[in-house]
Structure 1
Amino acid sequence: MTAAPRWIAGVDGCPAGWIAVLAPADDLSRATVRVVPRLDELLDATPRVEVLAVDMPIGLPERTRPGGRGPEAAVRPHLGARQSSVFSIPSRRAVYAPDYATACAEALATSEPPRKVSKQAFYLFPKIRELDGLLRAGASDRVYEVHPEVAFWRLNGGRAMQLPKKIKGKVNPDGLDERRALLRAEGLPAEVLQQRPPRGAAADDLVDACVCLLIARRLLEGTATPFPAEPERDACGLQMAIWA
């Protein structure tokens, strides 16, 4: 009797919510792309997804130190010129602040040395809170934090991507092509990689979700490793690690 496929998903935040690339772990040719407004739609999807690898922080510190959480500090040295894509996560109090001014005040009060919150980070807070709420409600056994540039580093034999994915906030076509070539070599179909992203997502969101899918496969196979090697847990018990 043939075993049922084991489904995995790579997920990235996008303007419309979340973009996900889903596939059976042993047959990436069946990969499909979806955009959903809420992450719980993927957790409740049929067929059941066994591993979701999501490009969003998991585990929020009570206080922050230089270099950020353990995961950020652990991965930056591997990324060379791409390390600027890894930003430090502020404290839980800052992430749950109701507005930007309050978030900055909370971040200043809970960081050493004191640091405010960047606007880029602040705009991610609603998605961080959404994911945090799901995990604290009991979904943490299937969801793992990943980072696209760390994932590409892993799949590229421990070498960071040479070209930036964006230049001055705009997508860099050559950088996307460099990453698509690596994704094709890992078995993702060209028609998935080259398709027009669904409404509410951009081309770089799709590429990031695709590489997250490949780390989901490594997680299912038991070959992914955490950064840092011995992850800490936050005050809510959530493990703080970037997997690759």
Structure 2
Amino acid sequence: MKIAGIDSCPLGWVVILHDYKKFSFEAVKSIDELMELHPDLNRVFIDIPIGLSSIDFTRTIENKLRKELGNRSSTIFTPASRKAIYASDYDKARDINKRVLGKSISIQSYNISKKIKEIDQFMVYKTDELEIYESHPEICFKYLNDLDVIQTKKSTKEGFEERFQLLKQHYPQLEKLYQNIIQTFTKSKVKPDDILDAMVLCVSNLKSSPSGLNFIEDEHNIDEKGIFIKVAY
């Protein structure tokens, strides 16, 4: 079974793969490019919202995710509505989101809308053989860390090392993999914390294989396109 953990990066997407007891990596400009390279990919955990709000449906799972992380809940952001992510510019996105959800969106939220849109479109034409699930790195780190939320920020040296050490405790071979990635791609294309996030998503995906998938769900769990909203860890 070939699985992956995927995170957004300046180049596009950084991907940590696992197949036949071996880790590998890719950095691609698009999900379509990834599928061309790995058409046999079976299951993906990706750090991007899947399933979006609309006039008649409000995505509410962020409330549960924030409770999971306690005082680290600021790492959870509420995505724009579907119509807003398809807007041609930031001002239009803000106006649309106000009409749909009654509130504006931050520039940070708008800046990731292109990636959310890419996955929203991909969900329509992906093959049935590929399972793709929304995930969240800090949630994955919590469950990898015996249910203890990591309090440091991954953008700091201390926070990065704390998380990387935890990953290497489970899979020491990730040390060499990380070195290979940073030797292949500059930080302007793939940032260290992007690699870390893709790694923990892949590890969580891998660890769930023997015991079955684990999800955080909410009552509002099917959007207007029929997409199920649930976060895997």
| TM above 0.5 | yes
Q: Secondary structure at the match of 2:202?
A: helix
Aligned-partner residue type, residue 164 of structure 1: K
Identity of aligned residues (%): 29
| 2:143 aligned residue (132, 154, 170) | 154
The DSSP-based 3-state class of the residue aligned with 1:110 is: helix
Q: Does 1:59 align with 2:51?
A: yes
Report the CA distance between 1:228 and its aligned residue.
Answer: 1.3
Secondary structure class of the residue paired with 2:226: coil
AA aligned opposite 1:61: S
User: What code does the residue aligned with 2:178 have?
Assistant: L
The answer to whether the 8 A contact 2:50-2:133 is kept is yes
Partners in 1 of 2:68 and 2:178 — Cα distance? 26
The answer to whether the 8 Å contact 1:70/1:240 transfers is no
- Once residues 93 and 217 of structure 2 are traced to their aligned partners in structure 1, the CA distance between those partners, rounded to angstroms, is 27
Q: Describe how 1:4-43 pairs up with structure 2 within 5 A.
A: 6-24=1-19, 27=21, 30-43=22-35
- The answer to whether structure 1 residue 144 and structure 2 residue 109 are counterparts is no
TM-score, length of structure 1 as denominator length: 0.86
List alignment gaps of at least 5 residues for structure 1: 1-5, 166-170
What letter matches 2:168 in structure 1? R
Correspondent of 1:133 among 107, 118, 121: 121
3-state SS of 1:87 partner: coil
Q: 2:82 aligns with which of 55, 78, 92?
A: 92
**Alignment match of 2:153 (pick from 134, 141, 164):** 164
Q: 1:234 and 2:223 equivalent?
A: yes
5+ residue gaps, structure 2: none
**Structure 1 runs, 4 residues or longer, greater than 4 Å off:** none
- Match status 1:117 vs 2:105: yes
Aligned to 1:176: 160
Is the Cα contact below 8 Å between 1:180 and 1:193 reproduced in 2? no
**Aligned pairs, number:** 227
**1:69 partnered with 2:53:** no
Does the 8 A contact of 1:64 with 1:91 survive in 2? no
Change beyond 3 A, Cα 1:41–1:216:
farther
Match of 2:206 in 1: 217
- Contact (CA 8 Å) 1:152, 1:211: kept in 2 or not? yes
TM-score, normalization: structure 2? 0.89
